[in-house]
Amino acid sequence: MKHFYKSTAALLLLLPISMMSSAAEPQKTAEPSKEMGMGMQQGMGMMGGMTEEQKTEHMRAIQDHMLQMHDLSNQILSEKDPAKKEALKNQQLELMKAHHAQMMEHRQQKHKK
């Protein structure tokens, strides 16, 4: 039994080390579309025709949206009143819907070109 505990302890010590070394090595895949998914490829291609200034502006818009979402999330989590909490959730949901509609509109405009 003593040997079992020593073996288990050694295994638990070596496991994180082996995980770090495998994470550090880049994995090679034959088809990047399977690994990244179609959404990632489309996202990377979407910014391909933009100038640096347009890319920065686009990233700022994404950052603003993320900050609004995080702010609302923090307010929701800290709110004690169930009615106010629900109102904040509805506000966040509307923001999400508006963002989704904007993305879909942009996507449709891109496919028309």
Confidence tier at 15 by pLDDT (50, 70, 90): low
**Percentage, residues of the chain above pLDDT 90:** 46
Over range 84-92, report the average pLDDT.
Answer: 96
Please check the confidence at residue 23 and state whether its pLDDT lies above 60. no
DSSP string, 35-103: HHHHHHHHHHHHTTT--HHHHHHHHHHHHHHHHHHHHHHHHHHH---HHHHHHHHHHHHHHHHHHHHHH
The pLDDT, as a whole number, for residue 52 is 92
Q: How do residues 32-77 score in pLDDT, each as one tens digit?
A: 444 444 444 445 556 778 899 999 999 999 999 999 999 999 999 9
